Amino acid sequence: MTPPSAADFQRAVELLRAGELVAIPTETVYGLGGDAANPAAVARIFAAKGRPADHPLIVHLAGHDAVEHWAEGVPEIAWELMETFWPGPLTLILKKQGWVPDAVTGGQDTVGLRVPGHPVALELLRRFATAAGPRAGIAAPSANRFGRISPTTAAHVAEELGERVPLILDGGPCRVGIESTIVDCSRDQPVVLRPGHISPLHLEAVLGRRPAIETATGAPRVSGSLAAHYAPQTPMHLVAGDRLPDFLATRRQRGGRCGVLSPNPPPPAGMRHDWRQLPADPVGYAHDLYGALRAMDHAGVALIVVETPPADPAWAAIADRLRRAVAGAGRE
Ligand code: TXA
Ligand code: MG
């Protein structure tokens, strides 16, 4: 990986100012970025992703100072969350300022804001703000085609979007590997709309109590909440660890080759399936998950079999993404 040069950053700023798109690394996943204050640029994002235009986007900012250009009536608790977790994998939903384009918010009266914790993203955001002024923000959904697995390397972005994006800034593999935690601070009490690396336990330490989690499926409010999301094209099953050997034996008799993702090593002999062992801790597992699903999707297996993750809150974000991947995966 060659880190972006000064000339790359300059080109990225020029593209953004011209309403064009730039793929940017963040600590969670790669984003497909455009000038958030420019509705034509935002329309390009939806077109490149093949995403319905009523889905709101997250606006990425260089720092806290920019928040009140975008949001109004920011509650004290939101400032505390920013203090603790920004730059980092946390998105806050706040009441929007009147000028914020409907194109970004999907016509809602709220806006999603985040200061990402990746040096390349931060450098680009700072340079863009210097060039475009204090309202500068980069709207960026994950840089995948709609409904597919989010990219965690620059190569994944090229595979997903190819010619649709004129510049991909390479920031190496994403440190976190799954999308940011989303907390809605526009209501009376903060509510988690999407679990992520920052867990309810982390949030509790700041909020003083465990936040409610509301990951409704099917509602357009959070597009990641559509059941069919983050999905490979190969059919996929979640199977409990104790049922895995029987399940695979039955599949073998039927002749189909499975790709297995599990935190455990493969059984000793006679395994005719592709077995990929993932880290046994949720942080390491999240880091590797999308790359592993993508690799399995390319491996030509008939079925991707994922061992059901532990029912522990520390695994909530992973369980959430796996459920959605199963719902959106190809059919057998
Ligand atoms: O980690 C991330 O959040 C990545 C990186 C690139 O920052 N971005 C990302 O974007 O995952 P996307 O568009 O794939 O998911 C953003 C989620 C969507 O589910 C969207 O509905 C929700 O944020 N969202 C954005 N603005 C919102 C709003 N005003 N109210 C409710 N949900 C909102
Ligand atoms: Mg996405």
Clarify whether residues 202 and 273 are in a common domain: no
Same domain assignment for residues 47 and 182: yes
Residue from 26, 289, 28 nearest 180 by CA: 28
In a domain, 195, yes or no: yes
* DSSP assignments along 169-192, one per residue: ----S-SS-SPPEEEE-SSSS-EE
Task: Give me the percent of the chain exceeding a pLDDT of 70.
Answer: 94
Domain hosting residue 84, numbered range: 6-207
Q: Does residue 78's CB lie within 6 angstroms of at least one atom of ligand 1?
A: no
- Structural domain includes residue 230: no
> Which residue's alpha carbon is nearest to atom 17 within ligand 1?
222
Q: How confident is the model at residue 228 (pLDDT cuts 50, 70, 90)?
A: low
Residue 1, domain member (yes or no): no
Atom 10 of ligand 1, nearest CA residue: 141
Is 279:213 a contact under the CB 8 Å cutoff?
no
Q: 121 in ligand 1 pocket by Cβ < 6 Å?
A: no
Residue 242, domain CATH? 3.40.50.11030
Ligand 1 pocket check: which of 29, 55, 70, 91 to mutate, most ligand atoms within 8 Å of Cβ? 91
70-79, 120-129, 307-316: least confidently modelled range: 307-316
Alpha-carbon distance 325 to 148, whole Å? 8
Residue 227's pLDDT band (cuts 50, 70, 90): low
For 109, the token pair is: 């009266």
Cα(278) to centroid of ligand 1, in Å? Answer: 26
Q: What is the DSSP string of 55-87?
A: S--EEE-SSGGGHHHHBSS--HHHHHHHHHH-S
In a domain, 313, yes or no: yes
Q: 215: Cβ below 6 Å to ligand 1?
A: no
Which pLDDT band holds residue 218 (cuts at 50, 70, 90)?
A: very low
Say whether both 11 and 130 belong to one domain: yes
217 pLDDT above the threshold of 60: no
Q: Is 182 in the pocket of ligand 1 (CB under 6 A)?
A: yes
Do 251 and 111 share a structural domain?
no
| Residue 57 CB–ligand 1 contact under 6 Å | yes
Whether residues 83 and 175 share a domain: the answer is yes
Average pLDDT value for residue range 310-316: 91
Q: Which ligand is nearest to the CA of 91?
A: 1
The answer to the question of residue 162 being in a domain is yes
Residue 325 host element (H or E): helix 316-328
Q: Element (H or E) spanning 303, and its range?
A: strand 303-307
- Does residue 66 contact residue 59 with C-beta atoms inside 8 Å? no
Distance CA 267, CA 255 (A): 19
Contact 234, 265 (CB under 8 A): no
pLDDT digits (tens, 9 = 90+) for 107-148: 999 999 999 999 999 999 999 999 999 889 999 999 999 989
CA distances from 129 to 69, 101, 138, 271 (A): 12, 18, 10, 55
Q: Within a domain: residue 290?
A: yes
Nearest atom in ligand 1 to the alpha carbon of residue 30 is 6
User: Which domain CATH number covers 47?
Assistant: 3.90.870.10
Residue 303 and residue 174 share a domain: no
Token digits for 60?
């990425």
Ligand 1 contacts CB of residue 181 (under 6 A): no
Q: Residue for token digits 């532990």?
A: 310
- Is the preceding peptide bond at 87 cis, omega within 30 degrees of 0? yes
d(CA 151, CA 174): 9
CB 223 less than 6 A from any atom of ligand 1? yes
Within this chain, do residues 51 and 198 fall inside the same structural domain, yes or no?
Answer: yes
Burial 148-166 (b: 16+ CB within 10 A, else e): bbbbbbbebbbebbeebbe
Domain shared by 136 and 259, yes or no: no
Q: What does pTM read for this prediction? A: 0.94
Is residue 170 domain-shared with residue 253, that is, in the same domain?
no
Ligand 1 mutation target, pool 113, 149, 160, 179, most atoms within 8 A of CB: 179
Residues 63 and 169 in one domain: yes
114-123, 138-147, 206-215, 245-254: segment of lowest average pLDDT: 245-254
The answer on pLDDT for 47 being more than 80 is yes
Q: Do residues 277 and 162 share a domain?
A: no
- pLDDT of res. 270: 58
The length of the chain in residues reads 332
Tell me, yes or no, whether 188 and 53 share the same domain.
Answer: yes
Residues facing 304 on adjacent strands:
236, 259
- pLDDT (average), residues 218-239: 68
> What was the pLDDT predicted at 36?
98
Is 292 a domain residue? yes
What's the pLDDT at 269?
Answer: 61
Q: What's the total number of domains in the chain?
A: 2
Closest-CA residue, ligand 1 atom 6, reads: 31
- If you average pLDDT over every residue of the chain, what do you get? 92
What does the block give as tokens for 325? 């991947």
Is 167 within the bounds of a domain? Answer: yes
Q: What is the DSSP letter of 168?
A: B
